[in-house]
C-alpha cells in the first residue's frame, strides 16, 4: 500500500531519529514527508518503531493511506517523481 507519512517534531535529536527510522521504510519527498510502499507488516513495524520514539504531547506523526487510483492522480509541480518502487525496507 502507498502511505504518506509526515511529521512535526520540535526537538532536533528526536526529529533526527524519526527521520532516520523513516529512511529505512520510504523515500523523503519533502523535509518532513516520506512516501512509502509498505505491506501491512511493514506498516505495523514502522508504527511500532515510531511509537517508541514519539513524545505524544509534543510530537505529531501522520500516516495517510492512499488507494491505488489516488496515487495515479498525484500532481507534482516542480521537480520530483512519485515513489514507484518498494526499495526501502528495514532488514533486521
Report pLDDT digits (tens) over 20-69. Answer: 999 999 999 999 999 999 999 999 999 999 999 999 999 999 999 988 77
pLDDT computed for residue 83 by the predictor: 67
Cβ-proximal residues to 38 (8 Å cutoff; 6+ apart), any chain: 1, 3, 25, 26, 46, 86
pTM (2 d.p.):
0.81
Average pLDDT value for residue range 2-18: 96
Tell me, what's the pLDDT at 11? 95
Q: Spell out the domains of the chain, with CATH numbers in brackets.
A: 2-68 (3.30.70.240)
The answer to whether the annotation marks 40 as part of a ligand binding site is no
| Residue 86 in this model has a pLDDT that exceeds 80 | no
Question: Residue 62 class from Cβ within 10 Å (0-12 exposed, 13-18 middle, 19+ buried)?
Answer: exposed
The better pLDDT of the pair 46, 1 is held by 46
Amino acid at each position: 500500500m502507498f502511505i504518506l507519512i509526515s511529521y512535526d517534531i520540535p526537538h532536533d535529536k528526536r526529529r533526527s531519529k524519526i527521520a532516520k527510522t523513516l529512511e529505512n521504510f520510504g523515500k523523503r519527498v519533502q523535509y518532513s514527508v516520506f512516501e512509502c510502499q509498505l505491506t501491512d507488516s511493514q506498516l505495523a513495524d514502522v508504527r511500532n518503531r515510531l511509537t517508541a520514539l514519539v513524545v505524544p504531547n509534543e510530537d505529531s506523526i501522520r500516516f495517510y493511506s492512499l488507494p491505488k487510483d489516488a496515487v495515479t492522480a498525484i500532481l507534482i509541480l516542480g521537480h520530483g517523481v512519485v515513489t514507484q518502487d518498494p526499495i526501502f525496507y528495514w532488514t533486521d
